[in-house]
Structure 1
Amino acid sequence: MNKTVVKALELLQLFTAYEQLTLQQMVQLTKLPKTSVYRMVQSLVASGFLKKDGEAYELGLSLLQFGCLVAERLDVRKVALPIMEQLREETNEAVNLVVKDGDEAIYVEKVETSEPVRVYTRVGRRAPLYAGACPRVLLSFMPSEEQKQYLDRVELIPIASKTIVDREKLKTVVNEAKRKGYTVSHSELADHSSAVAVPIFNHEGKVVAGLSVVGPESRFQPSYIEQLVPKLKHAAEQISKALGFIGGKDVEL
């Protein structure tokens, strides 16, 4: 690899944790010679990847343009499919991917299980955001004001024997899902079926999809769900990362 390019990328990587940095701070963080950092910074400023604000530097508009292009060209289905297949191999359960479309969730991708007893869900199926684990995880992690408006206006219609039609209970379940990072459903969209779902985030930290494993309710006992949740969360983290989501804590100088 070209060492100069690698070092320049390391400089840019610093700005994922810091909004602004002075030349001296960059030298301290990279432990590179000041003259080398200065030359690279000047080149990055000239190309629009960095801009100077007083004595400090921050990310430039060129990165914004590239970032927007990458985000626009990412297809969550394409990114998610190989990870969904891996999750199916780990769990031997069917795996579904949903996205929000208005007040509904639409199933956009699925990976089937080889289990003889299974729950069938077709790509293109729609479901209200309040019913079923995968649709409800989109509701649980949407912006609070948008969520409140939805919960106030939606008509809760039973779809299966355990569909949540009590508004206060739904609010409690939604809040619990936000706290725990996942949600569970039993016989909400189809009797005798269960699902566990987690959110997928994009580069802006916004929920863009829900990932779930589904199967017969008889198989999805509490102890089994406890085993599924870490695997689901790991898969969702991989997809989110591929979509540009950056987790972790901010670092202070």
Structure 2
Amino acid sequence: MNQSVIKALKLLDYFTEETPELTLKDITIQSNLPKATAYRLLSSLEQEGFLVKSKESEYDSRYRLGIKLMELGYRVADQIEIRRIAKPFMESLAHEINEVIHLAIANDDKATYIEKVDSKRALRLYTKIGKTVPLYLGSGPKLLLAFLHSDKQLRILRELSMSSVNESAQIDLEDLKLELEVIQTQGYSVSKGEQDHDTTGISYPIFNHKKEVIAALAVSGLSSHFEGDNLRLIKDAASRFAHQISINMGYRQY
């Protein structure tokens, strides 16, 4: 990791319950850094919202932790909470339909898989917890993209239209936009062979108490399993369990 980043992050450790505010002089003494170096690192943290600065005097400044850390803390807490709540339902769903179950969340401009339950079939999908993929690749990521705030969704699509990855991934942006509209209308997403060959994924949204989509519950397996009556059973079960997880996350339809 970049040494400047490490030094900057270590400065945050000096802010405690006992010392919620520190001056530049305090931090220089505790960190044993040159004043100019400490000031540069603190300025970077302030610029990104990790610290808030107020003028102490003509020669010094006072710092306290910024709102950005609270936002990140809430984000981590939400991830821990949804994993804890969703895991038993995911295990029950996997037992009922015998397919791989994933839990994915939007993470900035990508999707991250934060939980997984394997099926008992011989075929295993080697998706690791923590794997990050683009929001246009797979049923779970696409569902998350479809339900993002419109401003953020438009920004991601605009950046995608200017990216060279668009050509290599053979993405038709107009088709993608239409697909996102379909996902919003029908309330679930489907992908075929987008992340793994000969596999199909179906994902349903998980809502919080604000009726916001906070995660995607994804079912994945061989495409041959996602046909006829079995497809109807998979969709019914995945929809039902996604709704149960949502209810346990505080979601109410009324």
Length-normalised TM-score, structure 1: 0.64
The one-letter code of the counterpart of 1:121 is: T
Instruction: Note the alpha carbon deviations across 1:112-164, whole angstroms, 9 max, x for none.
Output: 0001123221111111001100111101111222212211222474799xx66
The corresponding residue for 2:141 is: 135
Equivalent pair of 2:102/2:217 in contact (CA under 8 Å): yes
Higher alpha-carbon deviation: 168-177 or 186-195: 186-195
Matched, 1:151 2:157: yes
Give the structure 2 partner of residue 224 of structure 1. 230
Matches of 1:205 and 1:146, distance apart in 2: 18
- List per-residue Cα deviations over 1:69-122 (Å, max 9, x = no partner): 9x9576100000000011011101110001111111111100000011232211
Q: TM-score scaled by structure 2?
A: 0.64
- Give the corresponding residue for 2:23: none
Where does 1:38-53 land on structure 2 (aligned, <5 Å)?
none
- Alignment partner of 1:244 is 2:241: no
Deviation at 1:229? 1.4
Partner of 1:90: 96
CA shift, 1:195, in A, is 0.5
> In 1, distance between residues paired with 2:120 and 2:77?
35
Write the distance in 1 (CA, Å) between the matches of 2:109 and 2:146: 13
Preserved CA contact (<8 Å) 2:225 2:231: no
Which aligned pairs between 1:13-28 and structure 2 lie closer than 5 A?
none
Letter in 2 for 1:89: H
Change (3 A) 1:139 1:128: same
> 1:150 and 1:229, CA in 2 relative to 1: closer, same or farther beyond 3 A?
same
Letter in 2 for 1:128: P
Give the C-alpha shift of residue 223 in structure 1.
Answer: 4.7
Establish whether residue 182 from structure 1 lines up as the match of residue 195 from structure 2: no
Identity %: 32
Tell me, yes or no, if the aligned pair for 1:119 and 1:193 is still in contact at 8 Å.
no
Q: SS of the counterpart of 1:124?
A: coil
Equivalent residue of 1:116, what SS? Answer: coil
Residue number in structure 2 paired with 1:111: 117
Q: Is residue 220 of structure 2 the alignment partner of residue 210 of structure 1?
A: no
1:188-244 superposed Cα distances (whole Å, 9 cap, x missing partner): 112222110011111111111110110112322365333211211111111111111
User: Partners of 1:178 and 1:119 in 2: how far apart?
Assistant: 27
- SS at the partner of 1:97? strand
Among 76, 79, 84, the alignment partner of 2:82 is 76
**Structure 1 runs of 4+ with >3 Å offset:** 71-74, 155-160
Match of 2:136, SS state, is: coil
CA distance, structure 1, for counterparts of residue 117 and residue 147 of structure 2 = 24
C-alpha RMSD of the superposition: 2.4
For 1:227, give the aligned amino acid. Answer: L
Question: Hey, what's the Cα distance between the residues in 2 that align with 1:75 and 1:109?
Answer: 12
Structure 2 contact 206–216 (Cα < 8 Å) conserved: yes
Separation in 2, partners of 1:159, 1:236: 34
1:100 aligns with 2:106: yes
Question: Are residues 72 and 240 of structure 1, via their aligned partners in 2, closer, same or farther at CA, if it must alter by over 3 Å?
Answer: same
| Total equivalences in the alignment | 177
Q: Unaligned 5+ residue runs, structure 2?
A: 1-73
Distance of 2:156 and 2:244 partners within structure 1? 29
CA 164–206 in structure 1, closer or farther in 2 if over 3 Å, else same: farther
Structure 1 SS opposite 2:224: coil
